[in-house]
Amino acid sequence: MSNPEPNIAQKLPYAVELEAGKTYWWCACGNSKKQPFCDGSHKGGPFTPVQFNAEKTGTAWLCGCKHSANKPYCDGTHKKL
């Protein structure tokens, strides 16, 4: 049986403003209506959100294609999809 694939929310990263020390939940399934953050849309499915703490305040580029090897951050994987 093959592994399920997340839905591609968009084939570009999301530029988001993060606050140092704050905890965020990145959407891993691609179904959230609050991209790139989790809104609970994954419930009942094979994906769970990725919890992370912002290391610094400022703009971060979070993965929109849901295929990054460096989740939740963009690593350029969207260019190969």
3-state DSSP assignment of residue 55? coil
Could you list the pLDDT tens digit for every one of the 81 residues in the chain?
Answer: 578 999 999 999 999 999 999 999 999 999 999 999 999 999 999 999 999 999 999 999 999 999 999 999 999 999 999
Alpha-carbon torsion 67, 73, 79, 80, what sign? negative
60 Rama sector, left if φ>0, alpha if ψ -120 to 50, beta otherwise: beta
